A and B are shown apart, each in its own frame.
Chain A
Amino acid sequence: MIEVGQLSKSYRGQPVLENVSFAVSPGECLGIIGPNGSGKSTLLRLLSGVDAADTGDVRLKGRPVSAYTRKELARWLAVLQQDALPPVGFTVQEVISMGRYPFQTWLGGDAEDADEQIGRIIERLNLASLVHRTIDKLSGGERQRVALGKVMAQQPQLLMLDEPTTFLDIGYQVQMMDYIQAWQRESSLTVVAVLHDLNLAAQYCSRLLVLHQGKVAAIGTPEEIIKAGLIEQVYGTEPIVLQHPVNHAPQILLQPSQTLWRKQNETTIKSSD
């Protein structure tokens, strides 16, 4: 589905990505993780074709991404961003219908029966009570759900997520990822997700790619990646790694810096003497 070879990109002489190579096969869910400024979002911009690489290439379905027109790409590639919808005056229904744009003729006619499809999406995402509300009157979580609806209306084969849960509370985070996972399974969607939260990434992705200072530090299954040593090397903090009691995915617990913790320990030992 995606082949990335020797990708490099710099902004104003500062290298952001260096020699990044990997491949994504159809139906898989690849999570891209890494600390702030490691180049995750830049990588996604290059994958989705809104930015061009300096050297190296991105191939989608065997063709270079730059060889597609925006409209061709939008027919099977959709992108869900963090903070996806600005406070505009369009209604929920109107925004979801915008997902049909790449399939419409310039007069606005659609090849398929879009109304029925949009009705199904609204029902599925529990947006029925909000259809005629305008976006500027919705909460952050509701807004992100509408953005997901718009992306669903595009009926993509490849979905890219750019930290879609960043501004959501834990309830909405899990709800959002559940919607995406269910959708992925039923329409054998390929997903590439830039995620901030390692625990979410380990539970929802089949493979993880770790970016560190613009390079691929590691790529593999969550069990291979979420290890205390690698996390410390990349993030500069050593977590405790446990297994999720229900789904057995590796999960991390954060711990305060070692020196501080030791000092406290020593004082407690002394006082107990």
Chain B
Amino acid sequence: MKRKLVLWGGVGVILLLLSILVSVSIGTAKLPVLQIAAILMKQLPYMGGHIDVTWPQSSEQIVMKVRLPRVLLGVLVGAALSVAGTAFQGVLRNSLADPYTLGVSSGASVGAAFLIYFGLQYAWFGQWSIPVVAFATGLISLLLVLKLAQIDGKLKLETLILSGVVMQAFLGAIVSFMVSMSKQVINEIVFWLMGSLAMRGWSYTLTMLPYLLVGFIVLICYARPLNLLALGERQASHLGVHVERTKLVVLIIATFITAAAVSVAGVIGFVGLIVPHLVRLLVGPDYRLIIPLSAIGGGLYVLWADTLARSLLSPTEIPLGVITAFLGAPFFAYLLHKDKKTQRG
């Protein structure tokens, strides 16, 4: 287990660092990768002093003020959504669950959009208002979806996803309505329904980080109970897992991380579906591996999706959610088909 984690984790981190360099270099002003590496090294304590400045001031401005915060925010959002997806799948034992398909993302976006369009961003909890309210509305919509999907105390795979889709359509309509009642219409609707990382400075990255870290650490602590839960709830209970508490904590934490991601980047679909599934194919069913590797994989995935979103039709930006849906929706269809097949035997 540990060897696998070090091996795949190492490969993942190296890939991620290289991807960050390459992605930062891509844009209307092309910057050489080596120059970016030097600019970044210059920022490090101790090492920075030994590096001579050989680049124009403008390059450093572009890297540090525009591209790097966006790229890092993409990594954090991707990690958050993938880890949340992994957690939802583990606790619901449903391979199609993800913050988007369960309607949690849309729920969080209703809360966030509400605050923004009624000028309440700093009401009640200061700068924490948006994430806190997004968390509350996300959690409410999750509870409604679970309630809606329950038949005789049982959650069926398809019913759960169907309820999620219904919830998502309804909440999406609420968000669209709120946005259309305000003045900055078109762009913002697209932002809340399809997600975007455009125009996000360091403050967003820094808001996001603590949420992700706390949530990630809690979920890592629940990795072994999630493994046992894969054998069924009663089995896990006989092995000493407090099943109800585990489910509650993991669902709440996954919603919490999702809300943080939605507050800064809008609704980005299918990330939490694709990444954990691919990680599972690579390393097997052990959540002690899937959770950390999904974080890295999700970071990579959204980083590249966003790089495509901003560079493919440059200077026009494609909404990030469009890219992830282009990849994610067919993948979802494939998983659904495969699942039907295994059910039939």
Contact = CB atoms under 8 A, between A and B. Distances in A.
Interface of A: 48, 50, 69-75, 77-79, 81, 84-86, 88-90, 94-95, 98-99, 101-102, 104, 106, 108, 134, 150, 154
Given A81-B234, A84-B235, A90 B227 contact: yes
Nearest to B239: A101
A28 B237 CA distance: 25
B238 A50 contact: yes
Given A70-B242, A102-B239, 5 more contacts: A75-B240, A79-B238, A86-B231, A89-B280, A89-B285
A183 B238 CA distance: 19
A74 B240 contact: yes
Contacts, number: 60
14 contacts: A69-B242, A71-B240, A73-B240, A79-B234, A81-B235, A86-B231, A89-B280, A89-B285, A98-B231, A98-B239, A101-B240, A101-B241, A102-B240, A134-B284
Given A69-B242, A70-B240, A74-B238, A101 B228 contact: yes
Interface residues of B, number: 20
A74 B239 contact: yes
Given A104-B224, A106-B221, A108-B224, A85 B286 contact: no
Interface string B221-232: 100100110111
A70 B241 contact: yes
A74 B234 CA distance: 12
Nearest to B230: A88
Contacts of A102: 239-240
Contacts of B241: 70, 101
A81 B231 CA distance: 12
A99 B224 contact: no
A234 to B, nearest CB: 27
Contacts of B224: 101, 104, 108
B238 A48 contact: yes
B72 to A, nearest CB: 30
Interface string B128-170: 0000000000000000000000000000000000000000000
A50 B227 contact: no
A197 to B, nearest CB: 22
Given A90-B284, A108-B224, A50 B242 contact: no
Contacts of B232: 86
Contacts of A71: 240, 242
Interface in B270-290: 280, 284-286
B221 A89 contact: no
Nearest to A107: B221
Contacts of B285: 88-90
Contacts of A70: 237, 240-243
B284 A89 contact: yes
B280 to A, nearest CB: 8
A102 B240 CA distance: 5
B4 to A, nearest CB: 12
Contacts of B284: 89-90, 134
Nearest to B93: A86
A85 B232 CA distance: 8
A132 B148 CA distance: 41
A36 B299 CA distance: 53
B334 to A, nearest CB: 18
Contacts of A50: 234, 237-238
Contacts of A84: 235
B218 to A, nearest CB: 11
B230 A90 contact: yes
